[in-house]
């Protein structure tokens, strides 16, 4: 399918810290990383053919955000493709950008996203009655309910200890103290024994930090034009897959690739990874580092299993064996992950991982640099794992 498509290269990007103050309006959220990315990559605004933008900000009251975003970015009359698809929508924006370039229709495309928490729609309130969905969408469960149920089910099925979860959180925090963009960068390093304990405080510390606001942008270009802007372009590929949105259908869903799985596995992520690996011409054994969207430590282990970094059910062994560290064959979450970088929703949960891998391949990550990094994979999910996206960058 992809043999005759034009290769897509990444030539730059930018991301804010996940702590943008509430007084910022959505226009400032959108323009900040957009202009920073263009300026740092030396790409003139006139060269941008299209913008794909994922957003999660209900301050955009109009039903047509596309022209508003285009106007704020100053790219009129060129098009903006607006996308609102939960945390992984940033990956779908990148998918739109990738296809626009691979098809030959565009030369330079910006994939971006922005999100902001607010005082009337906290994550705890995003439930099946009020978050623009049918009542039975999540069987009446909130995001928090579902996450707790999924983690408990995964722990029981594969006998995953709190020690493995604590080690996951500890390693994410270790990396975050070496990433100036991370939310946890200025905070004291947690104690490993406390992270592994069975207390409400430890449980909270093993989950993603929240949230403020965050925005990001990637600049993609066709292989034949990328050299105009950089001597070090990086190939970019992306794929995504949907899983049924109803939790009751997570068990042995009757389609190819999802039979035999339940809530303790991520078959949608497996399918997205298979497609992305095929486009990139690699296998999981070729991957040098991985960034995953981990709202909890247990979810992070499920993700590395689905990506093929370790067998299903053995994420705990990978983590306890030091697999996340810089000394391993495939370090994990070197940007800090959701647990210590921060949960950015539509603003960064996908693109933070792409950018980290991009900078790793360019050797720009200082103390958290993975030696000899050539291929980086990242994943993100949205809407309780009914949407999974995989991105790959490689030299």
Confidence label for 118 from pLDDT (cuts 50, 70 and 90): low
Mean pLDDT for 279-307 is: 96
Of residues 142 and 340, the one with the higher pLDDT is 340
Of residues 234 and 144, the one with the higher pLDDT is 234
Confidence label for 171 from pLDDT (cuts 50, 70 and 90): very high
What is the Cβ-side half-sphere exposure of residue 19, based on CA atoms within 13 angstroms? 11
Of residues 57 and 83, the one with the higher pLDDT is 83
Give the number of other Cβ atoms within 10 Å of residue 64's Cβ.
9
Mean pLDDT for 232-236 is: 94
Q: What are 24-76's pLDDT values in tens digits?
A: 888 998 999 999 999 999 999 999 999 999 987 666 766 688 899 999 999 99
Instruction: Note whether 15 and 352 are within 8 A (CB).
Output: yes
SS (H, E, C) the chain: CCCCCCCEEEEEEEECCCCCCCCCCHHHHHHHHHHHHHHHHCCCHHHCCEEEEEEECCCCCCCCHHHHHHHHHCCCCCCEEEECCCCCHHHHHHHHHHHHHHCCCCCEEEEEEEEECCCCCCHHHCCCCCCCCCHHHHCCCCHHHHHHHHHHHHHHHHCCCHHHHHHHHHHHHHHHCCCCCCCCCCCCCCCHHHHCCCCHHHHHHCECCCCCEEEEEEEEEECCCHHHCCCCCEEEEEEEEECCCCHHHHCCCCCCCCCCCCCCCCHHHHHHHHHHHHHHCCCHHHCCEEECCCCEHHHHHHHHHHCCCCCCCCHHHHHHCCCCCCCCCCCECCCCHHHHCCCCHHHCCCHHHHHHHHHHHCCCCHHHCCCCCCEEEEEEEECCCCEEEEEEEEC
Q: What are 256-267's pLDDT values in tens digits?
A: 999 999 999 999
Q: What are 307-356's pLDDT values in tens digits?
A: 999 999 999 999 999 999 999 999 999 999 999 998 887 778 899 999 99
Going from the N-terminus, what domains does the chain have, and what CATH number goes with each?
A: 8-116 (3.40.47.10)
**C-alpha torsion angle, residues 269, 274, 278, 279 (rounded to 10):** -20
Q: pTM for the complete prediction?
A: 0.93
Mean pLDDT of the chain, nearest integer: 90
Q: What is the pLDDT of residue 136?
A: 47
């Amino acid at each position: 399918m992809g043999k005759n498509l034009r290769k897509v290269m990444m030539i730059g990007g930018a991301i804010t810290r996940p702590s943008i103050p509430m007084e910022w309006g959505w226009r400032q959220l959108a323009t900040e990383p957009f202009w920073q990315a263009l300026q740092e990559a030396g790409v003139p605004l006139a060269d941008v053919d299209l913008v794909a933008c994922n957003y999660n900000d209900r301050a955009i009251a109009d039903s047509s955000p596309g022209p508003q975003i285009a106007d704020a970015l100053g790219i009129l009359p060129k098009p903006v493709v607006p996308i609102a698809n939960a945390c992984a929508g940033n990956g779908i924006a990148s998918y739109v950008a990738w296809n626009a370039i691979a098809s030959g229709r565009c030369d330079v495309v910006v994939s971006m996203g922005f999100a902001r928490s607010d005082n009337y729609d906290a994550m705890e309130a995003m439930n099946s009655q009020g978050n623009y969905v049918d009542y039975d969408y999540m069987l009446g469960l909130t995001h928090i309910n579902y996450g707790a149920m999924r983690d408990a089910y995964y722990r029981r099925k594969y006998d995953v200890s709190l020690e493995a979860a604590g080690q996951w959180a500890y390693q994410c925090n270790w990396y975050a103290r070496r990433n100036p963009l991370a939310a946890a960068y200025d905070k004291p390093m947690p104690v490993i024994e406390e992270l592994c304990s069975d207390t409400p405080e430890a449980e909270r510390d093993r989950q993603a930090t929240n949230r403020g606001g965050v925005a990001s942008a990637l600049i993609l270009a066709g292989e034949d034009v990328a050299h105009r802007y950089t001597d070090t372009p990086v190939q970019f590929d992306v794929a995504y897959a949907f899983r049924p949105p109803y939790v009751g259908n997570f068990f042995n869903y009757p389609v190819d690739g999802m039979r035999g799985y339940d809530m303790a596995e991520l078959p949608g992520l497996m399918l997205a990874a298979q497609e992305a690996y095929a486009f990139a011409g690699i296998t999981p054994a070729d991957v040098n580092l991985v960034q995953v969207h981990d709202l909890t430590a247990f979810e992070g282990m499920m993700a590395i299993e689905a990506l093929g970094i370790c067998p299903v059910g053995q994420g705990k062994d990978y983590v306890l064996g030091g697999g996340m560290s810089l000394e391993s064959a495939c370090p994990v979450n070197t940007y800090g992950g959701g647990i210590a970088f921060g949960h950015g929703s539509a603003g960064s949960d996908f693109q933070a991982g792409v950018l980290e891998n991009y900078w790793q391949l360019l050797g720009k990550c200082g103390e958290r640099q993975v030696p000899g990094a050539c291929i980086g994979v990242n994943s993100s999910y949205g809407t309780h794992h009914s949407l999974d996206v995989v991105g790959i960058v490689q030299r």
